[in-house]
Amino acid sequence: MKAAIVFTGSGPIVVMTTFESFVEPRFVEKMEAKGIKKFIAYEVDLDGLRSKYGKHFDIILGDLKQSSDLRVLDYNGHRIFSLFELRTLGAPIYHEP
């Protein structure tokens, strides 16, 4: 299980996925199905997400299938920017077609 803050053309989202990589072709296909073709992702710690999102995290986690799945945990850019410190994010993962 992985999670990331993903910066898209319309703003940041927080996603959780069962894919091994944020540039894996099947992950990219799922993002494209959501209308996201180009993005910058920053992997985030699952325990940190659990403490920030509480019950909502557990509900989304319970909704993830065992493989080949992607769920959006948060799409409210204002909330994401208030919950995360940008300086603590690791190396960016870039994807563009």
- The 10s digit of each residue's pLDDT in 42-62 is 999 999 999 999 999 988 888
pLDDT, position 67: 65
Beta bridge partners of 39: 95
Question: How confident is the prediction along the chain (97 residues), in pLDDT tens digits per residue?
Answer: 899 999 999 999 999 999 999 999 999 999 999 999 999 999 999 999 999 999 999 888 887 766 678 999 999 999 999 999 999 999 999 999 9
- pTM reported for the whole predicted model: 0.91
Q: Is the dihedral of CA 27, 59, 83, 49 positive or negative?
A: negative
> Is residue 52 within 8 Å of residue 42, measured between CB atoms?
no
pLDDT for 66 equals 62
By the 8 A CB rule, do 16 and 2 touch?
Answer: yes
Helix (H), strand (E) at residue 42? strand 39-43
